[in-house]
Amino acid sequence: MYLYGFSHQPPVEPIRGRKTGVFHTAEIAHVFGVLRAPKDEPSPYGAVDSTLARTMSGAWLQFAKSSNPKGDGMPQWPRYATSSDQHMEFGDVIEAGSALQQASLDAFDLAFAQMRSFDRKARQKPSR
């Protein structure tokens, strides 16, 4: 299994006139290499976007062919393991990283553990 994060701020917004930051699905244009501007507008994409698109689409194609995103000239994408918690970070710099969204995911883990504990206690109470 391979994990990735996408942290590059795309030069387009999903909702015109609203700054949303790096949004869900922002990487799709890069993965499929469709860096296009809206109709009749100049392309807002730059050199970083082109590099990301080449690298990401290459990794996805390599993975489709061999079940491994690593290929000639590709960055070393670590295989995911819970013990190392490594991922590939696709941002202004493409590099391996670790602990992707760790603070947020730890908060979810804690909340779910509390819910499970509450549910177990509720089921153990004798009914009257």
pLDDT tens over the chain, length 128 residues? 999 999 999 888 767 777 778 888 999 999 999 898 777 788 889 999 999 999 999 999 999 999 999 988 888 899 999 888 999 999 999 999 998 888 888 888 899 989 888 877 777 766 66
Residue 120, domain member (yes or no)? no
Residue 70, domain member (yes or no)? yes
Q: Classify burial at 88, counting beta carbons within 10 Å of its beta carbon; exposed 0-12, middle 13-18, buried 19 or more.
A: buried
DSSP sequence for 30-48 = HHTT---PSTTS-----HH
Count how many domains the chain has: 1
State whether the Cα torsion 30-105-77-92 is positive or negative.
positive
Residue 52, domain member (yes or no)? yes
| Residue 28 pLDDT | 94
Across the strands, what pairs with 90? 6, 94
| Residue 91 pLDDT | 95
| Residue 127 pLDDT | 61
- The continuous run of DSSP H or E covering 95 comes out as strand 94-98
Q: Which residue has 């689409």 as its token pair?
A: 57
Q: Which residues form the domain of 93?
A: 4-100
Residue 108, domain member (yes or no)? no
Residue 115, domain member (yes or no)? no
Residue 65, domain member (yes or no)? yes
CA distance 74 to 19: 32
Residue 111, domain member (yes or no)? no
